Structure 1
Amino acid sequence: MISKIIKDFFLKRKVNNRLKDYQLQVSSNKIVKVGVLIDGNYFTNQELLVEEIAKHGIVKENIEILSFVNKNKKTLLEKFDYFFRKDISFGGLFKSERVTNFTDQPFDMLISYYDIQKPTLLLVTKSSKAKFKVGFQTIDKRINHLSINSVAENYTEFISELFKYLKILKKI
Structure 2
Amino acid sequence: MILKGFKEKSNKKYLNKLLTEREVNTTKSEVQSLGIILNIDEFDDLESFRKLADLIKVRTNKLKIVAFSETNKENLNSWDDCFTPKDFGWKGVVKNVELQSFLNKDFDVLISYYLHDNIELKLMTAASKAKFKVGILVSDERLNDLIIKTDIKEFDVFKNEIFKYLTILNKI
Where in structure 2 are there 5+ consecutive unaligned residues?
A: none
In the TM superposition, 1:47-126 aligns within 5 A as 47-72=47-72, 76-126=76-126
Distance in 2 (CA, whole Å) between partners of 1:40 and 1:54 is: 21
Contact 2:105 2:129 in 1 (8 A): yes
110-119 or 15-24: which moved more? Answer: 15-24
CA shift, 1:3, in A, is: 5.2
CA shift, 1:2, in A, is: 5.8
Contact 2:36 2:113 in 1 (8 A): yes
Relative to 1, partners in 2 of residues 1:137 and 1:118: Cα closer, same or farther, differing over 3 Å?
closer
In the TM superposition, 1:1-172 aligns within 5 A as 4-72=4-72, 76-172=76-172
Specify the code of the residue in structure 2 equivalent to 1:100.
Q
10-19 or 152-161: which moved more? Answer: 10-19
Contact 1:53 1:159 in 2 (8 A): no
Contact 2:67 2:79 in 1 (8 A): no
Contact 1:52 1:156 in 2 (8 A): no
CA shift, 1:53, in A, is: 3.1
**Superposed CA RMSD:** 2.0
Distance in 2 (CA, whole Å) between partners of 1:103 and 1:161 is: 25
Relative to 1, partners in 2 of residues 1:141 and 1:119: Cα closer, same or farther, differing over 3 Å?
same
TM-score, normalising length: structure 2: 0.89
Distance in 1 (CA, whole Å) between partners of 2:153 and 2:163 is: 18
Contact 1:34 1:109 in 2 (8 A): yes
Specify the code of the residue in structure 2 equivalent to 1:134.
V
Where in structure 1 are there 5+ consecutive unaligned residues?
A: none
Specify the code of the residue in structure 2 equivalent to 1:57.
K
Specify the code of the residue in structure 2 equivalent to 1:37.
I
SS of equivalent residue, structure 1 residue 163? helix
Count of residues in Structure 1 that have an aligned counterpart in Structure 2: 172
Specify the code of the residue in structure 1 equivalent to 2:68.
F
Contact 1:33 1:63 in 2 (8 A): yes
CA shift, 1:91, in A, is: 1.4
Distance in 2 (CA, whole Å) between partners of 1:85 and 1:57 is: 33
> Percent identity among equivalent residues?
32
Relative to 1, partners in 2 of residues 1:47 and 1:5: Cα closer, same or farther, differing over 3 Å?
farther
CA shift, 1:109, in A, is: 0.5
58-67 or 153-162: which moved more? Answer: 58-67
Q: List per-residue Cα deviations over 1:28-78 (Å, max 9, x = no partner).
A: 110011000001111111222222332342222321100111223567433
CA shift, 1:94, in A, is: 0.6
